[in-house]
Homo-oligomer: A and B are copies of this chain.
Amino acid sequence: MSDLLVKNVRVLDGDPTEILIRQGRIVAIGTDLDGAGAVVEDAGGRIAIPGLAEAHTHLDKSLLGYPWYHNDVGGGNLMAMIDNERQMKERLDLDPHVQSMRHALQTAAFGATMIRSHVDIDTTGGLRALEGVMETAEKLADVVDIQTVAFPQSGLMISPGTVELLDEAMKMGADLMGGLDPCGVDHDPKGHLDAIFALADKHGKGLDIHLHERGELGAFSMEQILDRAEARGMKGMLTISHAFCLGMPDPARVNPLLERLGALEASIMTTAPASSPAPLVKQMKEYGIHFGAGNDGIQDTWGPYGNGDMLERAKFVGLRSNLRSDAEMYMALDVCAGGGAEAMGMERRELKVGSPGDLVIVEGVAVAHAITLHAPRKLVVKSGKVVARDGATLMDMP
A315 contacts across to B, CB distance below 8 A: 305
Residues of A in contact with B (beta carbons under 8 Å apart): 13, 67-68, 70-75, 272-276, 299, 302-307, 315-316, 318-329, 365-366, 368-369, 371-373
The residue in chain B whose Cβ has the minimal distance to the Cβ of A329 is: B304
Interface contact A323-B75, CB-CB below 8 Å: yes
A320's partner among B274, B365, B373 (CB-CB below 8 A) is: B274
Q: Give complex CA distance A111, B373 in Å.
A: 18
A368 contacts across to B, CB distance below 8 A: 68, 71, 304
Interface contact A304-B70, CB-CB below 8 Å: no
The residue in chain B whose Cβ has the minimal distance to the Cβ of A364 is: B68
A273 contacts across to B, CB distance below 8 A: 274, 319
12 contacts between A and B (CB under 8 A): A13-B70, A68-B368, A72-B325, A74-B324, A74-B325, A74-B327, A272-B274, A275-B319, A276-B322, A299-B372, A305-B315, A306-B372
A169 CB to nearest chain B CB (Å): 29
Interface contact B68-A369, CB-CB below 8 Å: yes
Q: Report the copy number of this chain in the oligomer.
A: 2
Q: Give 20 new A-B contacts, CB below 8 A, not counting A273-B319, A304-B371.
A: A67-B365, A68-B365, A68-B369, A70-B366, A73-B325, A74-B325, A74-B327, A75-B325, A273-B274, A274-B316, A274-B319, A274-B320, A275-B321, A299-B372, A302-B324, A303-B324, A304-B369, A305-B318, A305-B372, A307-B372
* A72-B326 contact, Cβ under 8 Å, with A369-B304, A372-B304: yes
Interface contact B70-A326, CB-CB below 8 Å: yes
A329 contacts across to B, CB distance below 8 A: 304
Interface contact A325-B71, CB-CB below 8 Å: yes
Give chain A's interface secondary structure class: loop
A275 CB to nearest chain B CB (Å): 4
A75 contacts across to B, CB distance below 8 A: 322-325, 328
A369 contacts across to B, CB distance below 8 A: 68, 304
Interface contact A71-B305, CB-CB below 8 Å: no
A372 contacts across to B, CB distance below 8 A: 299, 304-307
A299 contacts across to B, CB distance below 8 A: 372
Interface contact A328-B74, CB-CB below 8 Å: yes
A367 CB to nearest chain B CB (Å): 9
Q: Give complex CA distance A324, B303 in Å.
A: 5
A214 CB to nearest chain B CB (Å): 11
The residue in chain B whose Cβ has the minimal distance to the Cβ of A71 is: B325
Question: Which 6 pairs from chain A and chain B are nearest by CB?
Answer: A274-B274, A303-B324, A275-B322, A74-B325, A304-B368, A75-B324
A303 contacts across to B, CB distance below 8 A: 324
The residue in chain B whose Cβ has the minimal distance to the Cβ of A303 is: B324
Most chain B beta-carbon neighbours within 10 Å: one of A274, A307, A320 = A274
Interface contact B325-A305, CB-CB below 8 Å: no
A82 CB to nearest chain B CB (Å): 14
Q: Give complex CA distance A311, B138 in Å.
A: 38
